[in-house]
Amino acid sequence: MNNCNPPLTAHPPAIPEPLWNGMIRDSAIGGHPVRFLASTGSTNDVALELAASGAASGTLVVAESQSAGRGRLPGRTWASPPESGLYFSLILHPHLAPADFPKLTLAAGLALCKGLENRTECHPGLKWPNDLFLCGKKCGGILSETQALSGAGQTAVVIGIGLNVNTPAHDFTDELQIKATSLLAETGASYDRGALLSAILAELDLMVARLEQNDFPSILTEWRQRDIHADRQVSWVNNQGMIITGLSLGPDEEGLLRVRDAQGHVHSVISGDISPAQV
């Protein structure tokens, strides 16, 4: 699935990033207005504040680096070194029922995969519900959050994405090198982050439109084709603190993960950290 190749060189030269620099100059990319920040704590925090202040749907917050990037689960952080990754958050006012908002995370994961497939030789996989994997290691992640809009009777959704692009393998800590990677580390090639961002945004726009047109079943089919845990034994900790192990059946029509245990009972997993079962 991941089409991993050995790095071409340990220290590839830096490449020009005309689309990235153009985005900074024009405060726009791919039809999206951009709030660019050299550094921030979290692009999601900025986007949530902007949404509460009336920012238009489609507004994008992009940072060169983050000091407090975070993951979906409590205590999880996202390393965001400067000039090497994509760290951005997209503000949306989707025409969806609130119960369908979680589907945006799966749709965003598929958009991230397809954007990279269009612009690179990589074929990443997806880990439910929000992680992008390359060559068995985490390369990107998605954090979706909501913001009630005062007096509007609407809810804004912020989709935050972090992607390791031009980070050399030796820049990861020893702990992270075991479980994290980047496009550069796996391919040996550097990429214009602006070109990648433009491709990902184009796919995100399509995915949101498809969701609004009730096309989640076909989105789910494509997502399952990239599921790294499909038909594999996985484990997770349930709400009672018990470790449950079973066969991953993939997400269902509501986006919940289905896992069938040894007794044949199918569990619907709402949240949690899914990992391969220890054999």
DSSP 39-86: SBS-HHHHHHHHHHTTPPTT-EEEES-BSS-B-SSTT-B----TTTEE
CATH H superfamily, domain 18-224: Bira Bifunctional Protein; Domain 2 (3.30.930.10)
Contact call for residues 167 and 70 (beta carbons, < 8 A): no
CA angle 101/214/249 to nearest 5° reads 70
Beta strand 32-37 pairing with 60-63: parallel
Q: Where are the domains of the chain?
A: 18-224, 233-276
Contacts of 160 (CB under 8 A, 6+ apart): 42, 43, 44, 47, 88, 89, 90, 142, 143, 144, 145
pTM for the model: 0.91
Which of 148, 180, 152, 151 lies closest to 165 in space, CA to CA?
180
Tell me yes or no: is domain 233-276 CATH 3.40.50.300. no
pLDDT of residue 174: 85
**What are the pLDDT tens digits along the chain (279 aa)?**
445 655 544 555 667 899 999 999 999 999 999 999 999 999 999 999 999 999 999 999 999 998 876 655 555 565 667 789 999 999 999 999 999 999 999 999 999 999 999 999 999 999 999 999 999 999 999 999 999 887 667 899 999 999 999 999 888 888 888 999 999 999 999 999 999 999 999 999 999 999 999 999 999 999 999 999 999 999 988 777 888 899 999 999 999 999 999 999 999 998 878 999 976
pLDDT of residue 74: 53
pLDDT of residue 75: 55
Measured in degrees and rounded to the nearest 5, phi and psi for residue 244 equal -110, 135
Enter the DSSP assignment of 180: B
pLDDT of residue 82: 78
